[in-house]
Structure 1
């Protein structure tokens, strides 16, 4: 999604900086963005990357199935806290945060939910809990405008995670679908996700605080 977003922003005439943790920065250059080496765990690099920028998009997260709760909290929650603080210090006007419907998971099916559904930072699933806590930080952030999107099951050209794994499972005879193939789910093509991110940056209404509940770090 990051690469597709960069391509769209460049096409729309924006000057783009892309935070890169590794030699993947070359890919950012090929797309027309200026790569800035750094990490969401390194506030100095974040501040350098965002200084002089009007908008910031935060799409980084720990999405692997491995890792304990502390690792997820460090990457998703503390990383997001770093992004928010550095965005304020760098003078960013608006930050668009890529959330997930997993932040609403409490062990029951999510049917017809919308933005009024409560976040679940106490979820037993590490990814769900950390993304819920991270989103709460974004929605409670002061000093800059924040907008959250939750694209579900993003797929499309350039996907290196979801589609390759699904294809491998189908070819290996290991693919199964809950409910005998009748269980419904939502999906989002990457182009639609990017369109949503752009609209959030241009027209989104900044979120309101959720002071009644605060994210608590794990033991």
Structure 2
């Protein structure tokens, strides 16, 4: 079993689960420090997805591949996203075809559904028309990566793609921690009252989905599946629950959508014009996430993969809060 992105948030949870269930796991990642604390029976290889020869070598004698590796960020250079997400995926599927991998599971993103123009997208299905242009470089290159995987399927590689939405849980270093820091620093932007409907997904539920993809029947091969907790909630209710469990007061900054979007657009254009590497305090993408309702339809995953979210949003938030407090973080 080969897992890419093994030192990332999802990858770590996946590798630990697979090792616990008795799989012989080879884990690829960039972070040596995190790789060193993976389960002792996991074979960790520090490698870059762009290293084509290295990928071909490490995939020898593997039966299954779960491709979690990607450059996931709201900010960065197009070339970096393209190199990691498109070229890296191309190297993975080429190697998988060469080595006759039995099943290739690809982790994509529902960010490809996002649009700056549509304020509400409810119950989005996998075959929904995708916006053009994509909302940012990450979404654009992940959509291209899906095309690469689809092409490999047409050449005979047994593939399955999942699109998990807004992962959270113990070990999260992105979504909730960013909200915590923003709350501490300047308060949380409540755009139009944060009364948007959204999906989030507990990380172990995504691991469940990935494990199901390894053993699902042939009708699932070549398909794509949305993965969420199946519990659409209002963003303000999610935030209130998180900060209540953390025992931290939530500071709201009420904002109007049109005004903050103009500011974010100006900031993004300015940062691009002057090649500023630091991420702007807010971007059109983050405004979109905070201001646009979006929920995903997971009927296909339930019916065809047998996916059933085990950990509820409330239980997941409780688990995250317990973990966060145990880190002795100053909250």
Contact in 2 for aligned 1:103/1:129 (Cα 8 Å): yes
What TM-score do you get using the length of structure 1 for normalisation? 0.87
Structure 1, 2-11 or 115-124: larger mean CA deviation: 115-124
Question: Is residue 144 from structure 1 mapped to residue 157 from structure 2 by the alignment?
Answer: yes
What do the CA deviations read for 1:160-200 (whole angstroms, capped 9, x no partner)? 22221111112224312433121111100001010011111
Structure 1, 132-141 or 102-111: larger mean CA deviation: 102-111
What do the CA deviations read for 1:80-113 (whole angstroms, capped 9, x no partner)? 1111111112221111111111112333243211
Question: Is residue 203 from structure 1 mapped to residue 212 from structure 2 by the alignment?
Answer: no
SS of residue matched to 2:13: helix
Q: What is the match of residue 38 of structure 1?
A: 47
Contact in 1 for aligned 2:26/2:45 (Cα 8 Å): yes
CA distance in 2, matches of 1:93, 1:124: 34
Aligned length: 208
SS of residue matched to 2:69: coil
Match of 1:25 among 35, 60, 67: 35
CA distance in 2, matches of 1:143, 1:104: 27
Contact in 1 for aligned 2:161/2:223 (Cα 8 Å): no
For residues 50-129 of structure 1, what are the structure 2 equivalents within 5 Å? 50-107=59-116, 108=118, 109-120=120-131, 122-129=133-140
CA distance in 1, matches of 2:50, 2:212: 28
CA distance in 2, matches of 1:180, 1:67: 29
What do the CA deviations read for 1:103-129 (whole angstroms, capped 9, x no partner)? 123332432111111345742511111
Deviation at 1:208, TM superposition (A): 5.6
Q: What is the match of residue 202 of structure 2?
A: 189
CA distance in 1, matches of 2:121, 2:108: 15
After TM superposition, which residue ranges in structure 1, 4 or more long, deviate above 4 angstroms? none
What TM-score do you get using the length of structure 2 for normalisation? 0.59
Q: What is the match of residue 215 of structure 1?
A: none
Q: What is the match of residue 242 of structure 2?
A: none
SS of residue matched to 1:82: helix
Structure 1 vs Structure 2 CA RMSD: 1.9
Note closer, same or farther for the CA distance 1:120–1:82 as it changes in structure 2 (3 Å cut). Answer: farther
Consecutive unaligned residues in structure 1, runs of 5 or more: 210-219
Match of 1:135 among 130, 146, 149: 146
Deviation at 1:154, TM superposition (A): 0.3
CA distance in 1, matches of 2:188, 2:135: 25
Contact in 1 for aligned 2:112/2:135 (Cα 8 Å): no
Higher strand share: 2
